[in-house]
Amino acid sequence: MINQFHTSPVGVKGVKIHAINEAARKELLIRLEDRGLSTLLSFKDMNGALLVALRDEIAPQLAPDADTLQIADRLVSTLGISDIELDCEILAAMFSCPRQLEFPSYQEFKSAVSIRENIVRAAKKTQLAFDTRSIERPTDCWQHSEDSGFTILPGFPIIDALTKATQPGVSGKRYAFSCYRATEYVILLGISQELALVNPDLLNRLQARWEKKAIMSGAFHEAFLIEQGTIDNPVPGQYYVPGDRVWFRNPDPVSSDISGYEGSWVIYLGRGLFSNFWKADAPYTLKYKCLEVFHWRNGVAHDATGRDYMDEAVVEARVDHTSADPVELKSTMDRMMRFRDPSGVYADGGCIDASREYPRLVHPETSDIRLEV
């Protein structure tokens, strides 16, 4: 696939860890050596901080123009090993970052990696019933009101409640979600699992809040997530770190008016794959997701009352047809791999978002998650 985003190499800024002592440096180096990464990285002391990034001569091999979609396979080839762990891919992608990622401590950096692992594992187990109008959760641990949204029954652990709501392997049932709300639950689960280990007081406050009122949509974004990149200063279009929340925008003004088809919210799983909350065993590739979103325009149908809905069978057939036609495939991908237009604009943009979202800090001394209980 031709890279649509860069005409010159993208520099690597990597990860800057502040207030790192000798014990933490040693622990980090041991972890990197165990993963085979240490010889691929540069290390620079910066007034008590440590900057870690892919070496200049290595970056074009592992993450050319900040493309991390194949970084796992490239690591396997470069290191001459049979496979890598999830945290190895996360670390390598973070060290490839074209915008410097900063952490106030080594502990926060470790937790950031762990939370991403939690999110990816939870996303892989999540399987839901797509329904933008129905609302449903396990009744033994959730209750609903118009004012408070879905809240947890007092005393039922939030980690268990989130797991039951999203993982049919635990609950035995698929519950109705939108893709946007599903990403919130998966991210909140990943954060909560780390809080149980490093900040139980914040977990308790999170529990108390969700027993009173859910935090959703824009408020969830503000409370729990950092957004990197803007329309004017986008993240490179093929730069993803496992655990990122990603949006693919529907650039068609007609089909995007159908509820649930304004775009597609997913979690990046690593190895070039994105979560599929409706078919967990069939995660999306970037190509398939781009083609699916493009062909939503061809799936618009009307029921007996005249209401628009999406005929998924038509969309799937059109995706298969485009995939088998090299000329049509190139034309469609060239269009969809462009960055999206601004909100409210439907012009020449594609479906690729300019930003990525990932969780805030979690340790007691440095957390920037603010909850009103």
E strand or H helix that includes residue 320:
helix 312-323
Residue range 280-287: mean pLDDT, rounded = 96
What does the alpha-carbon distance between residue 271 and residue 286 come to, in Å, rounded to a whole number? 11
Residue range 40-47: mean pLDDT, rounded = 92
Residue 360 confidence (pLDDT)? 97
Residue range 93-106: mean pLDDT, rounded = 95
What does the alpha-carbon distance between residue 267 and residue 270 come to, in Å, rounded to a whole number? 9
Residue 341: Cβ within 10 Å count = 15
Binning pLDDT at 50, 70 and 90, where does residue 12 land?
Answer: confident
Residue 186 CB-density burial (10 A; 0-12 exposed, 13-18 middle, 19+ buried): buried
Binning pLDDT at 50, 70 and 90, where does residue 373 land?
Answer: low
What is the tens place of the pLDDT at every residue in 116-125?
999 999 999 9
Residue 5 confidence (pLDDT)? 30
Residue 47 confidence (pLDDT)? 87
Distances (CA, A) of 296 to 113, 281, 309, 340: 35, 22, 10, 16
- Phi-psi group of 309: left, alpha or beta (phi > 0 → left; psi -120 to 50 → alpha; rest → beta): beta
Residue 306 confidence (pLDDT)? 85
Binning pLDDT at 50, 70 and 90, where does residue 10 land?
Answer: low
What is the tens place of the pLDDT at every residue in 203-252?
999 999 999 999 999 999 999 999 999 999 999 999 999 999 999 999 99
Binning pLDDT at 50, 70 and 90, where does residue 9 land?
Answer: very low
Tokens linked to 318: 């059109």
Residue 372 confidence (pLDDT)? 76
Distances (CA, A) of 219 to 82, 223, 225, 369, 372: 43, 6, 10, 12, 11
Strand ranges, E, within 123-235: 129-130, 142-145, 149-152, 176-177, 225-228
Binning pLDDT at 50, 70 and 90, where does residue 6 land?
Answer: very low
Mean per-residue pLDDT of the chain? 93
Of residues 25, 72, 116, the one with CA closest to residue 359: 116
Residues 148 and 212 sit within 8 Å (Cβ to Cβ) = yes
Nearest 5°: the CA angle 223, 229, 230 is: 100
Nearest 5°: the CA angle 288, 306, 297 is: 20
Of residues 333, 359, 101, the one with CA closest to residue 238: 333
Residue 371 confidence (pLDDT)? 86
What is the tens place of the pLDDT at every residue in 123-135?
999 999 977 677 8
Q: Examine the pLDDT at 340 and tell me if it is beyond 90.
A: yes
pLDDT above 70 as % of the chain = 97
The residue to which tokens 């996303």 are assigned: 123
